[in-house]
Amino acid sequence: MWLKRYLAFGPNRPLWAFVADALLANNTPASESNVPMDIRTNCYLQSWTTSTSTRSSQPTDLLKMIKTGQKYGVRIEGLAFDWNILRDMPIWHHISADPKIRRLTNSSASNCLRFKHNLQTVGEAEDLAAPLIRVNGVQSQHRFNGHCECRDCTEIRELTDCEHPHHCMLRAEELLDTLPPKWDPRAEKPEDYEGNYPNFSRRQEENIFDYRLTTTGDLSDLFRVFTDKNHTPVNETFVRRVQPEGNEELIAVATDGSCMNNGQDTAIAGAGIYFAKDDLRDKSLKLPQMAGGTKLTQSNQAAELLAVKTQGHP
């Protein structure tokens, strides 16, 4: 429970969690001595580690909390994350960034980002680097030199006292380029094609299958428990186009699974697929006992998954 509250990054995060952030950042192994204190935000969101040695000065309660998380496999996992979550992640030592991001911390441009721009998050880096992006092949008014007087550079100089906005934009872009596509808010995402799911109309007592791959919410929703320590989460982007294009149309299909003697050795499961009355595509299915040499668990959930898979591939 302590760890869950500690990882509650929303507006109601308890005050003690911020104190814990500082204590965990202050108690690190010697191997992390080259990580500046001002960028140590959270050891669950960044690649630096906090001390778990009983001989360290780590407070006992925090030591127990960290070890509990390790014991039960608490870590970030998910197929895709929404744009707001990606932008809220800390940019410095981002936990999923290429390790070379550690070498981008102490240059003059990085120091300017840290101390003058007060840059902390991926979203802030994306906003700063935005003038470098071409939109439909058209470059912004920004000029690629240290003497640019475009609106963005002028505003940056006035607000941050930065002497070389262009150099800082390039460093922000370089930091973003260390992120894999799954974590880069500039990259194509499943969210781009998942439509307006929450506002789909539905009939009474009708449940609409949530087809979205994207985890939504805030940083608290990144975490999973009981993960497999022998499995490394992939950083590939799984993009599926689910919105109709051209003459395509959405088709409503109902599926349901059923199981006799559920939970027993004699269980038998099946499912139904329904398009419309007297539709030739309507069918009933029996869940096989084996598939690819693997024994299938006979349950209504497994049967319904078979129905969903079958109707998607007639």
Q: How far is residue 27's CA from residue 109's CA, in Å, rounded to a whole number?
A: 28
197/55: higher pLDDT: 55
Cβ neighbours for 108, distance < 8 A, ≥ 6 positions apart: 167
User: Is residue 20 pLDDT above 60, yes or no?
Assistant: yes
Question: Quick one: which H or E segment has residue 165?
Answer: helix 165-176
Per-residue pLDDT of 230-243, as tens digits, reads: 888 888 887 776 55
32/231: higher pLDDT: 32
Q: How far is residue 289's CA from residue 144's CA, in Å, rounded to a whole number?
A: 64
Q: How far is residue 136's CA from residue 258's CA, in Å, rounded to a whole number?
A: 52
CA dihedral (94, 99, 100, 102) positive or negative: positive
**Token pair recorded at residue 85:** 């979550």
Per-residue pLDDT of 48-69, as tens digits, reads: 999 999 888 999 999 999 999 9
Q: How far is residue 185's CA from residue 123's CA, in Å, rounded to a whole number?
A: 8
> Can you say how many angstroms the Cα of residue 310 is from the centroid of all Cα atoms in its chain?
29
Question: What per-residue confidence (pLDDT) applies to 251?
Answer: 78
Torsion, Cα of 204, 205, 211, 214 (10° steps): 90
Highest average pLDDT, of 42-46, 102-106, 265-269, comes from 42-46
User: Is residue 174 pLDDT above 60, yes or no?
Assistant: yes
DSSP-based three-state secondary structure for 139: coil
**Domain boundaries defined on the chain:** 2-74, 98-178, 254-312
Q: How far is residue 60's CA from residue 63's CA, in Å, rounded to a whole number?
A: 5
Amino acid, res. 291: A
Q: How far is residue 309's CA from residue 255's CA, in Å, rounded to a whole number?
A: 10
252/105: higher pLDDT: 105
Is 0.75 surpassed by the pTM of this model?
Answer: yes
Kindly state the average pLDDT of the residues 28-34: 93
Kindly state the average pLDDT of the residues 25-44: 95
Instruction: State the pairing for strand pair 283-286/268-274.
Output: antiparallel
